[in-house]
Structure 1
């Protein structure tokens, strides 16, 4: 009986270890010099720089967090980096010019093929492209709803968000938004989506169930604003938006979209990410080749970390 109980405990422990232990690393794609900067989140020091392939931009984890996926635009591939050993594992053909992507809980990668006006579905295990879905001109941002039943893709030149069902990969809706939409993110409960529009200088709030825009705010008070990155605070009450040439993080009320404050960071701020506990926000500053560390409680930059050339995307394994 003791041996049997021991086997059960062992099985439970193995099941519970499906997600890799955190490495406390921040991964940053540097599109100009074809590298990923690896930062220790506990010290804000660069641990190493990894050569990964041509023009890395979009970045994300596999569901078990054992691998970092990289959109290698000029290689027409998704690169796979081992999150622990920091060795490149393989490069998977993904169609023309992948720019951004999101990873479904089932492991499939949903990505935008900017040159071909397509959204593709890639199985990284087999290397097979499972579907290609026509979308608008210059697709970029990709977001999967928390329930895994829809993927939304922004098209920069068509000024739309395209809603696609999962797993049948059928278009559901085409939503007109501000000029040059860049990214989309969702509330944890899947009720709301948030879309940034760079040229329009605006943020839109989307009712996911109806595919209708319920509120839009133009960030007119922010000089040179070019909204790109967007994410929610851990308590879902605050929206953080990177503002491109405005060189700051805009802090909005997630319900009303009212602008609360701005936090100065580096030049040409693009990708952003939030620590697991929500206390730190990290921004890619594309022109000055740094990553800013923002204290979200104090609402100020507390560190600036030199990285590679033209940092674009960032994720955190903590």
Structure 2
């Protein structure tokens, strides 16, 4: 009993003396009462694209004002920014389409129907100038030529794809949620060239990459971050994160990884070198803030969420009910370093 008490005192002392390095600094209110998924930053223009029900809100990050609304994006999930082509590509999960807009004017350029079912995560790869659209219900990836806006191939993935990243040199990595895998796609041949298990990680969703050390950071529903060598698929480290995570971001300036947890926290992980990683701190955010985007210019982080009402009792028709969104409570959280 004395040893346990002593350990508790030591832990409490360390915790009390620790100084947070990140904080929730403000909230940007945005109209609309529907659900949300991914956010994306246009670092060049300093605009934030926010998926929101049947539309995308565009926020000017210099003024925190909504400057545009991109309509008719039914069941919107993700936004891929292509600065070199002056385009943004938006995945619409409820009508199996991709909305393509002008990055400066936000005007519709084209709406492309795809064969894939329930497009979710979306990635623009500047190396190949292709857009990879990950279809949650057909278990495949639709590939679009970003210059012509034409579908060029559908890649079978053998499982439900989630978030994806590029190494900017011809390889694309994607989480396969129901198989606990990461698959590697050759951006030139458009074929799967590697499949790696990331067990003990379960149901991986968010994925980030360090392009310098060639490390992948996959966050999983069983409260684990799995760190993988992108050259050979070897698991280097598993670390604890908060519950309900759906997103992760990597800051190359600070060598920090941020796991956005729907419980209302961010787990901050420090990369000391290519093989050394540790949990640095836990930052309080707000319940429901499960996706994340990094502003590489300002080092600020953005997360979408809202207030929730009372959760209904389960029924036979709806065994897993969700609490409704409180009207007019949708916000974008801004988390930033305490000292820049």
TM over 0.5: yes
Q: Does 1:58 align with 2:38?
A: yes
Aligned partners of 2:128 and 2:82: how far apart in 1? 7
1:199 correspondence with 2:175: no
1:111 to 87, 90, 93: 90
Partner of 2:269: 294
Question: For 1:127 and 1:167, how far apart are their aligned partners in 2?
Answer: 17
Alignment match, 1:210: 189
1:167 aligns with 2:144: no
> 1:130 — aligned with what?
109
Residue in 1 aligned with 2:227? 251
Residue by residue over 1:51-92, the C-alpha shift from the partner in whole angstroms, topping out at 9 and shown as x without a partner, is 22432321112241421111112xx11111121222222322
Contact 1:93 1:127 in 2 (8 A): no
307-316 or 209-218, which moves further after superposition? 307-316
Shift of 1:94: 4.2
State the alpha-carbon separation in 1 of the partners of residues 254 and 160 from structure 2. 29
The answer for the alignment partner of 1:32 in structure 2 is none
Q: 1:127 to 1:233 in 2, by over 3 A?
A: closer
2:310 — aligned with what?
none
**Which residue number corresponds to residue 27 of structure 1?**
none
Show structure 1 runs of 5+ residues with no match: 1-41
Task: Name the residue aligned to 1:3.
Answer: none
Answering whether residue 130 of structure 2 is matched by residue 150 of structure 1, we say yes
Q: Residue 221 of structure 1 aligns with which residue?
A: 200
Q: RMSD across aligned C-alpha pairs, in angstroms?
A: 1.8
Which of 291, 305, 328 is 1:313 aligned to? 291
Aligned pair partner of 1:268 in 232, 238, 244: 244
Q: 1:10 maps to what in 2?
A: none
Q: Distance in 2 between matches of 1:312 and 1:157?
A: 21
Q: Which residue in 2 is equivalent to 1:68?
A: 48
Matching residue within 17, 37, 56 for 1:78: 56
Residues 101 and 148 of structure 1, relative CA distance in 2, 3 Å threshold: farther
How much has 1:125 moved relative to structure 2? 3.7
Distance 2:149 2:69 in 1: 24
Shift in Å, 1:170: 1.4
**Residue 234 of structure 1 contacts residue 278 of structure 1 at CA under 8 Å; is this kept in 2?**
no
Question: 2:15 aligns to what?
Answer: none
Q: Distance in 1 between matches of 2:126 and 2:104?
A: 22
Q: Cα deviations across residues 24-51 of structure 1 (Å, max 9, x unaligned)?
A: xxxxxxxxxxxxxxxxxx9411111122
The size of the alignment, in residue pairs, is 270
Q: Is the 8 A contact 1:104 1:148 kept in 2?
A: no
Q: Retained in 1: the 8 A contact 2:49–2:79?
A: no
1:233 is matched with 210
Q: Give the TM-score, by structure 2 length.
A: 0.75
In the alignment, what sits opposite 1:121?
100
Deviations 1:131-154, CA, capped at 9 Å, x for gaps: 222221110011111236210100
